[in-house]
Structure 1
């Protein structure tokens, strides 16, 4: 399954706003995943976590963002 296939599935599940479009969501995912790879190469002194786990967490954060803790506080 490709990233775009995954994004199309999430859109159909109602997890991605159709107004933003699947192309936009795919580009966000691609950019984020490219960043994981690029940073691991260019900042090799950092003790990076497992790249697969980091990528899955990144995808979840983009597709299913959690509310900011400040947004959850009652006013």
Structure 2
């Protein structure tokens, strides 16, 4: 059973994230190709993934969650080019 209020839960956080990412995009600090909304959704998904996995896979020796989140944000916001000779699939 869908709960209408639950569908809107998190919208303010996503909106604020989009605003911040949009400012970074405007300043030329992120690639505008995907846009602020896409980058925000990637960040939101990744951070929820970190939380969910730490809760549901507690037998894994996870690194510090703050460091893991920072590394994830860095990977999404500043992707590194693929090394020469290696192709992305």
- Which one of the candidate residues 31, 44, 50 is aligned to 1:30? 44
TM-score normalised to structure 2 length: 0.68
Decide which moves more: 7-16 or 55-64.
7-16
Aligned length: 71
Q: Tell me which structure has the larger Cα radius of gyration.
A: 2
TM-score normalised to structure 1 length: 0.79
The answer to whether the aligner puts 1:9 opposite 2:23 as a matched pair is yes
2: distance between equivalents of 1:6 and 1:39?
A: 26
Residues 1:7 and 1:40: Cα distance change in structure 2 (over 3 Å): same
Root-mean-square deviation over aligned CA pairs: 2.0
- Deviation of 1:17 after TM superposition, in Å, equals 2.8
Q: Secondary structure at the match of 1:49?
A: coil
- Which one of the candidate residues 32, 45, 51 is aligned to 2:59? 45
Higher relative contact order (CA 8 A, sep 6+): 1
Gaps of 5+ in 1: none
